[in-house]
Amino acid sequence: MAVALLSTPVQVLAVRPAGGSGLLWAAPLKAGGEFQLRWTHTITRSPVSETYTVEPDRRIRLVRMVFNQFGANLPESPAPGTTWQVGPEGITVTGYTERYERLNLGVGPYDHRLIVGSRELDLVANVGADRLIRISVERQPRIRIYLLEVFQWRSSPSPF
């Protein structure tokens, strides 16, 4: 029974190198679940937060972006269907409808974090600056996720 449970696939948010198949990190995430990318803009050095949701068909949809300065790779004006609000956090953009099979990202040299619930991956420290990654929703055997977590835990520096 334990073997059957461990070999059962679970849905995860997976991080892989853009040009490879190796699994760098994964966290369980069901349909309707959200994750965030928080990063520091390379040019303006200002914080950007993006919140995504997982659709039932395992596609990814951006639901909210918050930034406080305009810059490269940030919206300059409202796209059709989006709503912009200016508040204490900065500019909040909602209303995105595009859905993606995967996100292809460049990890900049400054703070880039992927957050799923209480789990957080420091992309700069764990993947490397100026690296390309892809984020997708996959089904993976539960044992693979456990082994990946143990390997990451054993490889991380001790806080003591």
Phi, psi angle pair for 7, to nearest 5°: -90, -5
Question: Residues 107, 130: contact at Cβ < 8 Å?
Answer: yes
Number of H helices, E strands in the chain: 3, 12
Mean pLDDT of the 8-32 span? 89
160 in a structural domain: no
pLDDT of 105 higher than 70: yes
What was the pLDDT predicted at 4? 56
Domains in the chain: how many in total?
1
- Higher pLDDT pick, 86 / 21: 86
**What does pTM read for this prediction?**
0.86
Q: Both ends of the chain: CA-CA distance in Å? A: 38
Reported as a single tens digit per residue, the pLDDT across 4-18 is: 556 688 899 999 998
Does 111 fall in a domain?
yes
Q: By residue range, what is the domain housing residue 70?
A: 2-155
109 found inside a domain: yes
CA 100 – CA 76 distance, rounded (Å): 21
The contacts of residue 127 (CB under 8 Å, 6+ apart) are 15, 17, 24, 107, 133
In a domain, 110, yes or no: yes
Residue 23: pLDDT band (50, 70, 90) is: confident
Q: What is the mean pLDDT of the chain?
A: 86
- Give domain status of residue 97, yes or no: yes
- Residue 71 has a CB neighbour count (10 Å cut-off) of 14
Can you give the pLDDT at residue 153?
Answer: 53
Query: What pLDDT sits at residue 35?
Result: 98
User: Per-residue pLDDT tens for 64-97?
Assistant: 999 998 888 888 888 889 999 999 989 999 999 9
